[in-house]
Amino acid sequence: MTDTSIHGEWSSKFGFIIAATGSAVGLGNIWKFPYMAGEYGGGAFVIFYLLCVALLGLPIMMAEVLLGKRGKLSPINSMRKITQNAQVSSRWSIIGWLGVLTGFLILSYYSVIAGWALAYIPRLALGTFSSINELPPDQVLQFVKTIFSNLISDPERLLAWHSLFMGATVIVIAYGVEAGLEKSLRFMMPALFALLFILLGYSMVNGDFMAGFHFMFDIDFHRFFYPHCTPTACEFNGEAPLAAMGQAFFTLSLGMGAIMVYGAYLPKHAKIGEITAIVVIADTLAALLAGLIIFPIVFSNGLDPNQGVGLVFHTLPIAFGKMLGGSIFGALFFLLLVLAAWSSAISIIEPIVAWLIESKKMSRLSAALLCGGIAWMVGFVTILSFNLWQEVKLLPMIPLLADKTPFDLIDFFTSNVMLPVGGLLIALFVGWVLPARIVSEELEMTENQLKYRFFRFLLRFIAPLGIGLVLLNLVGIL
């Protein structure tokens, strides 16, 4: 095993923390977490999500960083190298392949959604939504929905914003670990958290902060398991726990190779437990702050938090359009969304770029252009799912998937199946297959230490049991 990666290293453990936090803090925190909390009843979803982060996410992130730090290569080659050196079955290399494939599929639609946010920055900054103050109240929501609908129904416009975002991602990746990834993320992450706290203050002053706070933290398990009640009947929906766990994996970038490849660039004596805990806390804080920014604004304007994927694009423009200084702060919010997406997209594309450099002897620029170009083309599926293909339903015979577009299917299977399965395989491999001496050596702990035993317990029993139950629940739903 080598001590350094051929791709370079983070300049310090702080460099890794910034990079891994950038990978974790993305659209999953600021776009997806709030709308899922709104869809699945607020507080109960938040509590279940936090439990998944603490009991499943943290130990699996430690295990994934450990594998990267041990292998010092791309996820595919790290897993091949580790299995050879540990003299265990090479079939476990599927962890690397599955992670890279999952991340690649996520990147293809991630870039399109980030393009929406890019498109909204000039709209907010130029005061497009300020005119809602002149409209009759019953026309305001329709006005905002029309603007959003005009954007996503135009494939050419979506393609342009998608191309701009993907191009920016490829440029950063092409510069390498220190000059590209670390240098850019050292700017992005402080700027992102500064914007979060500025917008939190704005929300506290201009929004109904207590209503948003209670919505996020008051626990109502009835709404969690029966989110779609009518006045006459309530139907049990077991999808909520699956969604909460999938969101925990999605927001921490677990199971997609990003955290593993970032672990490969760690200095030899970096303490995995300490730095991953910091990353998990920062990521969770970002998600909670995003909810505390969005929901008070939503409630103060009498809007519905259960808006699904359109929550950020339907409700917030109305709120910012009505508020003093809303154009500036609205533009800042969507800038925040773009920065978060950019930092995550960089990490998602890095594993496959690293593999091409190692295995196909490509230059970093060529590998970045090839990966970015293919992901850009796969993104056409997402673009067309919102317009020309919006009536295309590929699996009408399966009730849960019957009404899902091609984009919905990619999102569902990557977030709710591929990421959890990847996490499960990591937990089983590090917990049960990888020799304990290697695990303790990389964690710099002795096997009789309490924190080491607790980590192993979570990884060997709690994480597989939790993921397994939720995946079994998925089989039952399907």
Q: What is the pLDDT of residues 181-196, one digit of tens each?
A: 777 778 778 888 888 8
If pLDDT is split at 50, 70 and 90, which confidence band does 29 have? confident
String of DSSP letters for 126-149? TTGGGGGGGS-HHHHHHHHHHHHH
For residue 123, give both structure tokens: 């709209």
Average pLDDT over residues 386-415: 89
Encoded amino acid at 118, one letter = L
Q: Which of 75, 89, 85, 163 is nearest to 119 (CA)?
A: 163
Q: Confirm whether 63 is domain-assigned.
A: yes
Q: Confirm whether 7 is domain-assigned.
A: no
* Helix orientation angle between 419-428 and 239-251, rounded to the nearest 10 degrees: 70
Task: Compute the distance between CA of residue 334 and CA of residue 338 in angstroms, rounded to an integer.
Answer: 6
Q: Confirm whether 317 is domain-assigned.
A: yes
Average pLDDT over residues 346-367: 94
pLDDT at 115: 95
Task: Compute the distance between CA of residue 72 and CA of residue 430 in angstroms, rounded to an integer.
Answer: 16
Task: Compute the distance between CA of residue 87 and CA of residue 439 in angstroms, rounded to an integer.
Answer: 15
For residue 57, give both structure tokens: 């996410």
String of DSSP letters for 363-431? -HHHHHHHHHHHHHHHHHHHHHHTTTTTT--S-TTSGGGTT--HHHHHHHHIIIIIHHHHHHHHHHIII
Q: What percent of the chain has pLDDT over 90?
A: 44
Encoded amino acid at 83, one letter = T
CA–CA distances in Å: residue 435 to residues 82, 272, 442:
11, 18, 11
pLDDT at 324: 76
pLDDT of 232 higher than 80: no
pLDDT at 440: 92
pLDDT of 233 higher than 80: no
pLDDT at 478: 52
Task: Compute the distance between CA of residue 166 and CA of residue 115 in angstroms, rounded to an integer.
Answer: 9
Terminal Cα-to-Cα distance of the chain (whole angstroms): 43
Tokens 């299995």 found at: 83
Task: Compute the distance between CA of residue 45 and CA of residue 384 in angstroms, rounded to an integer.
Answer: 31
pLDDT of 453 higher than 80: yes
DSSP, collapsed to helix, strand or coil, labels residue 73 as coil
CA–CA distances in Å: residue 251 to residues 50, 218, 284, 313, 369:
12, 22, 9, 20, 26
pLDDT at 98: 95
Q: Confirm whether 4 is domain-assigned.
A: no
* Helix orientation angle between 209-217 and 43-52, rounded to the nearest 10 degrees: 60
pLDDT of 199 higher than 90: no
Q: Count CA atoms closer than 13 A to 421's CA, side-chain side.
A: 17
**74-112, pLDDT tens digit by residue?**
999 999 999 999 999 999 999 999 999 999 999 999 999
pLDDT at 355: 95
pLDDT of 5 higher than 80: no
pLDDT of 335 higher than 80: yes
Q: Confirm whether 5 is domain-assigned.
A: no
Average pLDDT over residues 104-129: 93
Q: Which residues span the domain enclosing 48?
A: 13-477
Average pLDDT over residues 10-23: 83
If pLDDT is split at 50, 70 and 90, which confidence band does 42 have? confident
Q: Confirm whether 1 is domain-assigned.
A: no
Identify the CATH number of the domain in which residue 335 sits: 1.20.1740
The top-scoring range by mean pLDDT among 158-172, 234-248, 460-474 is 158-172
CA–CA distances in Å: residue 473 to residues 45, 234, 236, 239, 409:
17, 19, 13, 8, 18
pLDDT of 205 higher than 90: no
Q: Count CA atoms closer than 13 A to 144's CA, side-chain side.
A: 27
Task: Compute the distance between CA of residue 299 and CA of residue 64 in angstroms, rounded to an integer.
Answer: 39
Task: Compute the distance between CA of residue 394 and CA of residue 133 in angstroms, rounded to an integer.
Answer: 42
Q: Confirm whether 3 is domain-assigned.
A: no
Task: Compute the distance between CA of residue 465 and CA of residue 157 in angstroms, rounded to an integer.
Answer: 45
If pLDDT is split at 50, 70 and 90, which confidence band does 63 have? very high
Higher pLDDT, 242 or 19: 19
Q: Confirm whether 247 is domain-assigned.
A: yes
pLDDT at 28: 77
If pLDDT is split at 50, 70 and 90, which confidence band does 239 have? confident
pLDDT of 200 higher than 80: yes
Q: Which of 203, 189, 212 is nearest to 336 (CA)?
A: 189
- State pTM to two decimals: 0.88
Higher pLDDT, 234 or 189: 189
Higher pLDDT, 147 or 34: 147
List own/partner pairs for 370-378 with CB under 8 A and 24 or more apart.
Answer: 371/104, 371/170, 371/173, 372/166, 372/167, 372/169, 372/170, 372/173, 374/104, 375/104, 375/107, 375/108, 375/111, 375/166, 375/349, 376/108, 376/111, 376/162, 376/163, 376/166, 378/104, 378/105, 378/108
Per-chain mean pLDDT for the chain:
87
DSSP, collapsed to helix, strand or coil, labels residue 310 as helix
Based on the structure, what is the number of domains in the chain? 1
**273-329, pLDDT tens digit by residue?**
899 999 999 999 988 998 898 888 888 877 777 766 667 788 778 878 877 788 888
